[in-house]
A = this chain, B = another copy of it.
Amino acid sequence: MIVGIDLGGMSAKAACLENGKLTKIVRVETSAQASYAETAHALAVLAVRAAQEAGVGRDGIDAVGIGSPGIIDSGTGNVVLWSNFGWEDVPLAQSIAEELQKPVFVTNDANAAALGEAKYGAGKNYRNSILITLGTGVGGGIVIEGNLFEGYKSAGTEIGHMIIRQDGEMCTCGRRGCFERYASASALIRMTERAMRAHPESRLKEFVKEDGTAGGKTAFLAAAAGDLAGQDVVAEYIANLGEGIANLVNILRPEAVLIGGGVSNEGENLLRPLRAYVYPRLYAPVRYAPFEILRATLGNDAGLYGAAEYARSRIL
């Protein structure tokens, strides 16, 4: 049995991957206050619980895959840096492998989600796909010929930190004009707030959140109601997102880009104009190398699928 673990700052989830489906998901709280040893032990216990829920015990575990935040050296299974938890070069794979006496593999959580979506979600009919997650930032992962691509020392696939506007808005990474400054859910909200200030007469204010501030849906709802300011925000957001996607497709030419994260809940209201924007901008035409933009389907489970699949691919 292969166990997948999705490690986060508030909780960790685990489940087994059986016949292409997750077994019952088990959870444990995590905390930056816990020591590294405590957290590693809790993950080992969690893996055994997931195996038990799948009808086997520790002995029935063939391998454990973990998707972890931070910079991961997947060659060693070390978490090189996870600032939230103060982890610096901790041997996560080794610690859990020693406790369970089973092979353990670690990759970045965004990479795990990309692998999960590629193999079990929206990308399952394609061997080459990119997952783009539109949330607080823009995260992503790349699957090439069925395998997760991580870059040297697993330091690649930072697709949110590709600039699309030289000398543009300052990013947390220190560069100016990064894709995630223009295409994340946070960027969409900032753009909506700017439009609300510039166009107080618009209908944007009818679609704010309960606390009166703009949300990721505000502009899309106003646009659907015929509001011009809302339509302008949506068009600008789709252009920003579309330019970044066209860049990635020209460089990597996958068969599909899978859109996840909060903004993807807009579904076809987002995807239809996005396709219309991107397809004519690709260097090699779509009629020659077929290409799709699709909505991710696994939601929050993508990381669990991918963590398990990552371990499966490593013990093959």
Q: Which residues of A contact B (CB under 8 A)?
A: 71, 80-81, 128, 144, 149, 151-153, 155-159, 161-166, 168, 173-175, 182, 239-240, 243, 246-248, 250-255, 280-281, 283-284, 288-289, 291
Contacts and interface: CB of A to CB of B under 8 A. Distances in A.
A251 B162 contact: yes
Contacts of A164: 163-164, 166
Contacts of A251: 156-159, 162, 248, 251-252
Given A162-B247, A288-B80, A155 B253 contact: yes
23 contacts: A71-B284, A71-B288, A81-B288, A144-B144, A151-B253, A151-B254, A152-B291, A153-B253, A155-B288, A155-B289, A156-B250, A156-B251, A157-B251, A158-B253, A158-B284, A162-B162, A163-B243, A164-B164, A166-B239, A166-B243, A173-B283, A175-B246, A251-B251
Given A164-B166, A251-B251, 4 more contacts: A128-B152, A144-B149, A153-B284, A163-B247
Contacts of A253: 151-153, 155-158
A255 B152 contact: yes
Contacts of A182: 166
